[in-house]
Amino acid sequence: MEDSNRRTALAAMLALPVGMAVAAEGSAATPKGKGKPMDMAQRMDAIESKQAITELLYAYARANDRADEALLRSLFWPESTHKHGKFDGKSSDFVAFAFKIVSTLKYACHHISNVAVDVKGDKAFSECYYFAQHRRDRKDGSGEEDVFFQGRYLDDLERRNGEWRIIRRRGLSDYTSPPQPAATPYADWPAGQHSEKYPSDDYYRMRQQFMGI
């Protein structure tokens, strides 16, 4: 009985590498009809590309919040197109349109989430959700108000000389809140304790120090 158990255990041990190889082959395989499986270099490139594109989407939020026009423009290729709300044209023109808005805001905060990215070589497609708050002057001059926005960005992206940028954006606006009168004017917020715009915000100074610039 003991010899039988030993043989069973030995057979299981010998079968383990084979089973692991089969499992690994299965994990690397591409589903039927979806093309050839990716090799290790292709998988690493896809992972790095997804990370770079995710950081690009975060940079879009930062550019709006800090009113950093140069950063905002750097995220789109020169011929990139843009469709968001009533705007339908070139992304460069949308940047000019958007910057006129964000540069006059007392405060802005854009959140990017639910990022999903598909990569095919030097082309990619991404989806993300956004949620934003704008603090602005009321049109009647009676004080300030907050407005909240929610929606999604659908982007086609291209990589050129190792750099990913957006080549086409479709913005979807799913919710805009009614303007809400602000209880406390922005001028009453404690100085030195909140975010500022480019180039005064501490992000730029601290990052330069970190990078050794």
- The one-digit pLDDT tens for each residue of the chain (213 residues) are 444 454 444 344 434 343 433 334 344 444 444 667 888 999 999 999 999 999 999 999 999 999 999 999 999 999 999 999 999 999 999 999 999 999 999 999 999 999 999 999 999 999 999 999 999 999 998 999 999 999 999 999 999 999 999 999 999 999 999 999 998 998 898 888 889 999 999 999 999 999 996
Q: Which helix (H) or strand (E) segment is 79 a member of?
A: strand 76-84
List own/partner pairs for 132-140 with CB under 8 A and 24 or more apart.
132/64, 132/108, 133/107, 133/108, 133/109, 134/101, 134/105, 134/107, 134/108, 135/105, 135/106, 135/107, 135/108, 135/182, 135/186, 136/104, 136/105, 136/106, 137/104, 137/106, 138/179, 138/181
41-211: which CATH architecture?
Answer: Roll (3.10)
CB atoms within 10 A of CB 169: 21
